Amino acid sequence: MSDNSLPLYIPQSNEVEVFETAFKNQLPLMLKGPTGCGKTRFVAHMAEKLGRPLYTVACHDDLTAADLVGRYLIEGGQTVWRDGPLTRAVREGGICYLDEVVEARKDTTVVIHPLSDDRRVLPIDRTGEQLHAPDDFMLVISYNPGYQNLLKGLKPSTRQRFVSLTFDYPKSDIEQSIVRKETGLDEFTVRQLVDLSNSLRRLKDHDLEESVSTRLIVYTATLIQAGMNPLQACRSALIEPLSDDEEVVAALMDVVNAKLDVF
Amino acid sequence: MEEFVGQLWHKYITKAASMEFPDAQVELNDVRHTLSVQFRAFGGDLALELKDSLNKNWKGKRNFLSRLASSEQKLELASIGHNNLYLPKNMAIYPDKELNKRAYLWLVALAASYQPDAEANWLKKNCDAVSQTLKKFPGLRKIYHALATQHVKIREHIKTLKADATEMTIRELLCNPESAKTILEENPDFDPRQAFPVPLWCDPFPVEAERIKSSLKDTIDSSDHAKGEKGKKLNIRKKGEYTSDIDEKDGLMAFRLESIFSWTEFIPVDRTADEDEEDNASMAAEDIDKISVVRGAETKAGKLKFDLDLPGSDQDDITINEGIKLPEWDYRKSLLQKDYCRLHLMEPRRIDSHAFSSKLRERAKRLKAQFEFLAMQKQWLRGQPDGSEIDLERFILRRADELNGQVKQDDNLYMELRQNLRSLSCLLLADLSLSTDSYVSNDSRVIDIIKDSLYLFSEALSATQDRFAIGGFSSKRRDMVRYYPIKTFDENQSEAIRNKISSLSPGYYTRMGTAIRHATNLLEVESTETKLLLLLSDGKPNDIDLYEGRYGIEDTKHAVHEAFTKGIRVFCVTIDDEDNNYLPYIFGSANYIKVKRATELPEKLPKLYSLLTK
């Protein structure tokens, strides 16, 4: 990383190039990938790199279009218009990042669609405005495909408006350098942790519903770096977050023991 | 009295003879789940299932006491087959329970690193696996050294075990696995296979292990086969498999120390060699009802009962349509074989008026009322032009607009309670294979439970707005997969459907993949937003041909994946009380549920449905 002020991000492939090209050509972008693999960090990194303000919205099932666009509020008998994050990003020419977009209410498509095709407009019903997005505005959405979202998938008509990038957990050597740079933990322990996590990832859909994320490895490494017993750190940050089944937790802790050489 | 003394003597002498430590014994059943999770976490093949290895009997070199105790000794082997990882039923080779547990842990770690397909000889592969495991999991080093040194100590106490050159080399290899390379290079002919076996190593004769298992399995372990298959027919089939199993030179071995390897005794066990392969299934079936040997207390009561009669065509159910061709996935070729299976639409020959017990009818009524209530659950719809309440949020926004000088024609200021309309189709697919003919309790068979479940399910769902269909399936080879369209999506719940459900009878096998594909096709044309395939089964996919074990599992997994790509969610409800590791492999960990007490299934199923579709 040449510039130290940027949020740390180590590219796994050509995603930086894709992002930059999409940005320069005013194309919206969709990031797909499992939780904790670096999607949000990637967006933060790119926003900083391109020098654009970033508006992140964590979508939830009660998020409506008004939450994105803005609304009138009554303050002391007066009404005040408050821009939502999306409107602000459009006005300022920033990057608006809708995290886990499938969670949001369906009426959000009303604002997402006209912004994500060649019109690039944001109609604001309430004020009667029609904002034209400047060239340095970019819409980025993310979602986590998987079994759980089957009943709540992304509509093809939405999906097809976005340039897409698929993320996965980084390759072992990249993941090791990420964890080392994030936490400053020694090379040997980091390698052990990453190897261990890769073993555990094989259990997805079999014994575990989710994989070990890079985020969890960073948490674990942080705890160890802060002086916690490595076994305890692995239990708290690596194994317990993955399963509520005591038997599975105990079984996996044996594997952690086997890996970490602390018997 | 004589008998009593005899028993005491036997007890004493077998105890003295066995170099085991029963007080410190660890049962595989207690740690099975843990070990199978660990095996996968250590990097083992995800598709393998953890099974008990079977006793091998042999007369070998034994110490005096054990010779005195009995003429035969038991040996439990752990080995890797194509479908299973076999571990000893219990572990008692160390006097300390913790050590025995760790011996299991070591064995699964070793098994995960073992390269069954490597070209090298057994000892080399074994030593490679040991050093690999220790390298990959440095935390195991201490465990391994504790296990190895303890074991060497035990070996030193075995009087009949002469400390000759072979034995010393074995001990050296055990204690210093790092020295393996040099030792093997210096003594390329070193072959300790006839020596006293090492429980922490791989099985030198896994081919024999497979042979023994295959033949013993037919008599002892009917669990895999009792699913409506037939003792003898299986024997015959097994024989065909031996040829392929011969390559299977891989595995681990654990054993009871009193025993020494020798396999002269295996030969008489392999009785299947006397049998000829029979092509004709019905001919085989004639022989079959004479044979259903079940041994051991573990077998389910249901397995004792076999109705192996294949009905004549005039007795069999009616075929409505026999022309539906469906593909099948062959994992060995990674190929979807087009038009490989033929699906027949069937109808029970005799449809009697149903005789569901009054108790069950009462339950159905209650459930129906509950579901009606659920279906009636209403939701506030905001922003309606008319309604019973004012939508305050809207009203405030409008006031703000007005204050701001904007008057818009937005009159949708009301909220209304309305029925929550959802768009969902569900197909319930029930396994009607012969295994469902087994008894789960004193008075009900699996099939009765399935029928009751179908009945309650259909009653409950008829109270909702959801579209649903019910189908049943069984199979006899790939050209005769039988599908009973009990209720189609467009039919309404009726007396005819209840009668059909009650007239279902079990038969044949479980070619699950084909049935799932047919159900997928039925669901695919549904225009609802959400599509759910609910599979009700009591066992593994299997059929009379090669469709069993891994082949069946891989095909079913593939069929489930096909459904998934078509936007259909597949969920499996099973009452198989075995340790069914294959389920998450096929369906994914979040997409199946085991109903522990089968008799609860009828009540549970509708509830499960409402949970799933919330």
The answer, yes or no, to whether residue B297 has pLDDT greater than 60, is no
Q: Which domains does chain B have, with CATH numbers?
A: 2-267 (no CATH), 320-372+422-612 (3.40.50.410), 380-419 (no CATH)
Is A251 an interface residue toward B (CB < 8 Å)?
Answer: yes
Q: Do B33 and A247 touch (CB under 8 A)?
A: yes
The answer, yes or no, to whether residue A239 has pLDDT greater than 70, is yes
Tens-digit pLDDT profile for residues B7-51:
766 665 555 445 678 888 888 888 888 898 899 899 888 878 788
Specify the higher pLDDT residue, B389 or A200: A200
Closest Cβ–Cβ partner in A78, A202, A207 for B589: A207
Residue B166 CA to its chain's centroid (Å): 42
The answer, yes or no, to whether residue A140 has pLDDT greater than 90, is yes
Residues B60, B263: Cα–Cα separation, whole Å: 8
Residues B460, B468: Cα–Cα separation, whole Å: 11
Residues 6+ apart with CB under 8 A from B312: none
Closest Cβ–Cβ partner in A74, A205, A206 for B400: A74
Is B38 an interface residue toward A (CB < 8 Å)?
Answer: yes
Averaging pLDDT over each range in B180-184, B329-333, B384-388, B405-409, which range is the top one?
B329-333
Closest CA to B97 of B150, B48, B155, B163: B150
pLDDT band at A243 (very low <50, low <70, confident <90, very high): confident
Local structure of A143: helix, strand or coil: strand
Q: For chain A, where are the E strands, in sequence order?
A: 29-32, 54-58, 70-75, 78-83, 95-99, 121-124, 129-132, 138-143, 163-166
Class (C level, CATH) for A15-166: alpha beta
The answer, yes or no, to whether residue B405 has pLDDT greater than 50, is yes
Is B111 an interface residue toward A (CB < 8 Å)?
Answer: no
Task: Give yes or no for a contact between B102 and B143, defined as CB atoms under 8 angstroms apart.
Answer: yes
Is A73 an interface residue toward B (CB < 8 Å)?
Answer: yes
Q: Which of A78, A247, A254, A256 to mutate to test the interface with B (most CBs of B within 10 A)?
A: A254
Least reliable range by pLDDT among A92-96, A117-121, A258-262, B469-473? A258-262
Tens-digit pLDDT profile for residues B409-450:
667 788 877 766 677 889 999 998 887 787 777 777 888 888
Q: Which residues of A touch B401 (CB under 8 A)?
A: 72, 79, 126
Is A263 an interface residue toward B (CB < 8 Å)?
Answer: yes
Q: Do B34 and A251 touch (CB under 8 A)?
A: yes
Is B585 an interface residue toward A (CB < 8 Å)?
Answer: yes
Rounded to two decimals, the pTM is 0.63
Task: Looking at the complex, report in whole angstroms how far the Cα of residue A255 sits from the nearest Cα belonging to chain B.
Answer: 6
Residues 6+ apart with CB under 8 A from A32: A142, A143, A144, A145, A164, A165, A166, A167
Task: Looking at the complex, report in whole angstroms how far the Cα of residue A190 sits from the nearest Cα belonging to chain B.
Answer: 14
Mean pLDDT of chain B: 74
List phi, psi (to 5°) of B451.
-60, -45
Q: Which residues of B touch A254 (CB under 8 A)?
A: 34, 38, 105
Closest Cβ–Cβ partner in B401, B564, B585 for A72: B401
pLDDT band at B243 (very low <50, low <70, confident <90, very high): very low
Domain range summary for chain A, segments of one domain joined by +: 15-166, 172-260
Q: Which of B31, B32, B35, B37 to mutate to test the interface with A (most CBs of A within 10 A)?
A: B37
Q: Do A262 and B139 touch (CB under 8 A)?
A: yes
Amino acid letter at A164? Answer: S
pLDDT band at B390 (very low <50, low <70, confident <90, very high): confident
Closest Cβ–Cβ partner in A72, A150, A202 for B46: A202
Q: Which of A61, A62, A72, A238 to mutate to test the interface with B (most CBs of B within 10 A)?
A: A72
Amino acid letter at B352? Answer: D
Least reliable range by pLDDT among A87-101, B61-75, B541-555? B61-75
Residues B173, A245: Cα–Cα separation, whole Å: 39
Q: Which residues of B touch A126 (CB under 8 A)?
A: 397, 401, 406
Q: What mean pLDDT is predicted for residues B513-541?
A: 89
Closest Cβ–Cβ partner in B46, B400, B569 for A72: B400
Helix (H) or strand (E) holding A107: none
Residues A35, B222: Cα–Cα separation, whole Å: 44
Task: Give yes or no for a contact between B498 and B354, defined as CB atoms under 8 angstroms apart.
Answer: yes
Q: Do B33 and A251 touch (CB under 8 A)?
A: yes
How much is the pLDDT for B9? 64
Tens-digit pLDDT profile for residues B58-90:
434 555 555 554 444 455 667 787 778 888 888
Task: Looking at the complex, report in whole angstroms how far the Cα of residue A206 sits from the nearest Cα belonging to chain B.
Answer: 5
Q: What mean pLDDT is predicted for residues B382-404?
A: 79
The answer, yes or no, to whether residue A247 has pLDDT greater than 70, is yes
What are the CA-CA distances from residue A209 to residues A205, A243, A248, B48 (Å)? Answer: 5, 8, 12, 19
The answer, yes or no, to whether residue B250 has pLDDT greater than 90, is no
